[in-house]
Amino acid sequence: MRALILALATCMVAAPLMAEDGKATLTVTELITSDIEGVASHSALVSKVFIPKGTIFPRHTHPTEEFLTVLSGEVVLKIDGQPDQTLKAGAAVVIPAKYVHSAVTPTHDTEVMVFRVHPKGQPVATPDTTEKD
């Protein structure tokens, strides 16, 4: 399941990810992928992500900052070295580049908008392989 979630995040396609029970567990809709004038090495990516309650994102990093706005529901964001943040509809946060983080939607279906200025040719997300104490 972890590999499927990361592959979906990397590809940024609008397709549901199916759980073992056959229910859709995650949908990523790519809204914008655009070149940036004057910055040939990067693209702008905007995605809307539907995350059902009970979803646990594995620990991972991104090569650049991730700008996240909660559109509905609630997500618990876990960034290494920082206190957990419970983000509700209307909340926005910047996840620093290369910081290991994960997220959980324990009680609500959640929809978020994600914006990234992304280096071309690099994966959108990289799994964290270190053990957390």
| Mean confidence (pLDDT) of the chain | 85
**DSSP letter string, 70-109:** EEESEEEEEETTS--EEEETT-EEEEPTT--EEEEESSS-
Query: How far apart are the C-alpha atoms of 82 and 101, rounded to whole Å?
Result: 10
Judge whether 31 lies within some domain: yes
Name the pTM for this structure: 0.79
**Across the beta sheet with 92-95, what order do the strands follow?**
15-18, 24-36, 39-51, 110-119, 66-72, 92-95
pLDDT at residue 126 greater than cutoff 50: yes
Judge whether 132 lies within some domain: no
pLDDT at residue 121 greater than cutoff 80: yes
- Residue range 29-40: mean pLDDT, rounded: 96
Domain count, the chain: 1
Judge whether 113 lies within some domain: yes
Question: What CATH code is carried by the domain that includes residue 45?
Answer: 2.60.120.10
Domain coverage including residue 22: 2-127
Judge whether 102 lies within some domain: yes
pLDDT-based confidence at residue 3 (cuts at 50, 70, 90): very low
Judge whether 133 lies within some domain: no
Q: Using one digit for the tens of pLDDT, what is the confidence trace for 59-99?
A: 999 999 999 999 999 999 999 999 999 999 999 999 999 99
